[in-house]
């Protein structure tokens, strides 16, 4: 199954804003950047804008937000694949990542990252 999704990294003063999903939501208990699945016929840009608004707005609605030093995210409490692509995203590199999980997305079984040329 292929799931297309976005993440939006909000950076300020060498920190990244992360969201810890509340119990009952997909990814509950994991820290991640705001984002989510694309809806039918939705562009990635629109999805990122919608998800950031839905997940953060002016107040926290679906989890805990916390600033982390950009080079010290809580990888042990994040999705397993984050440690493979996080640095590329933070450094502004364009890439395509394919991540394959077993079962209910709790165990990463394989991954591939392709760095894309700018432009």
Query: What DSSP letter does each residue of 10-30 carry, written as one string?
Result: EEETTEEEEEEEPTTSTTTT-
Out of 3.90.79.10, 3.30.470.20, 1.10.1060.10, 3.40.50.300, the CATH code matching 5-115 is 3.90.79.10
60 — pLDDT class (breaks 50, 70, 90): very low
Q: What one-character DSSP code corresponds to residue 59?
A: S
Q: Which residue has the higher pLDDT, 59 or 113?
A: 113
Instruction: Give just the sign of the alpha carbon dihedral 117, 113, 13, 17.
Output: positive
Higher pLDDT pick, 71 / 67: 71
**0.75 exceeded by the pTM?**
no
**Secondary structure class of 40 (helix, strand, coil):** coil
Per-residue pLDDT, 109 = 93
CB 32 within 8 A of CB 82: yes
Distance in angstroms between the alpha carbons of the first and the last residue of the chain:
29
For the ranges 4-18, 52-66, 79-93, the lowest mean pLDDT is seen at 52-66
């Amino acid at each position: 199954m292929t799931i297309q999704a976005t993440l939006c990294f909000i950076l300020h003063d060498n920190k990244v804003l992360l969201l810890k999903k509340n119990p009952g939501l997909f990814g509950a208990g994991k820290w991640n950047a705001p984002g989510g699945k694309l809806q039918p016929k939705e562009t990635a840009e629109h999805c990122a804008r919608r998800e950031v608004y839905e997940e953060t707005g002016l107040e926290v609605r679906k989890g805990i937000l916390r600033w982390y030093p950009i080079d010290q995210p809580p990888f042990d409490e994040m999705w397993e694949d984050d440690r493979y692509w996080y640095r590329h995203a933070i450094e502004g590199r364009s890439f395509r990542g394919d991540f394959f999980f077993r079962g209910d997305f709790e165990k990463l079984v394989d991954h591939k990252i392709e760095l894309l040329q700018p432009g």
